[in-house]
Amino acid sequence: MKFTFNWLKEFVTFKASAEKLAGLLTMAGLEVESLSSLNDPETNREDWLFEISVTPNRGDCLGITGLASEVSALTGGYVKLLGAPRRSKSSDITNRVTIAIQNARLCPRYSAAVVDEVHMGPSPAWMRLRLEACGIRSINNVVDVTNYVMLETGQPLHAFDLDRLPTRRIVVRTAQQIKKFTTLDGVERELAPEDLLICDGDVPVALAGVMGGAESEVRSKRKRAPSCWKAPISIRRPSAAR
């Protein structure tokens, strides 16, 4: 996993230097494989890029918020809790999108939101810097923000184009008899019967927690950004196979 020092410090207060933190993480079992200096091209602010090895039993440290809790325990620092935005009374989307979970063991919860009139464009420089430092190519503001949230929370997030979901009925199910699925990168994937899919009715639009589908890629102004919590095995198994 890669993260930057200044990004981590937005979630936890501590006084240790980057070098000191690298030693603390390594001694705690989160071995720091590399530590390199960075500079923000706009502000010239100094930063550090960490690359750590996360063992399979420490999935909680695959997001910056989880890592912040670990750093808090190691340094005595204070974790900064971010408040959730207040829901608007008009935020009910049940008349626009419905959700059905057919396999609650692999996906206990799925949440979705509709964001209207979003104008696609480049992400701000600070976001591009952080994403690219962590090995994720910047694409556009819609895609980038979903990847940014994933790096912060460890929660996979994907944006669909609402206009390209004809039934607007999200069904979370295993692949079963569906043998192949073409992902955003244009690759046709072989599916195992237990692979978890996000479908628009009967048509798969995403390989859950791994990658979205080519046919529902965000292109228009109106987007829907859904998020779901899935059992780790439902992500780990298909990801490892690819």
In the block, which residue shows the tokens 């909680």? 60
Contact yes or no for 36/48 (Cβ under 8 A): yes
Give the per-residue pLDDT at 88: 59
Residues 95 and 168: their CA atoms lie apart, in Å, by 10
Q: Which residues of 80-111 are buried (b: 16+ CB within 10 A; e: fewer)?
A: eeeeeeeeeeeeeeeeebebebebeebbeebe
CB atoms within 10 A of CB 150: 18
Q: For residue 103, report the phi and psi dihedrals to the nearest 5 degrees.
A: -135, 90
Residues 37 and 49: their CA atoms lie apart, in Å, by 6
Tens of pLDDT, residue by residue, the chain (242 residues): 999 999 999 999 999 999 999 999 999 999 999 999 998 777 788 999 999 999 989 989 999 999 999 999 999 999 997 766 666 555 567 778 888 999 888 888 888 888 888 888 999 999 999 999 999 999 899 889 999 999 999 888 888 888 888 898 889 999 998 988 888 778 888 888 988 899 999 888 888 877 777 665 665 554 554 555 545 544 444 444 44
Please give the biggest Cα pair distance in the chain: 54
Residues 217 and 70: their CA atoms lie apart, in Å, by 36
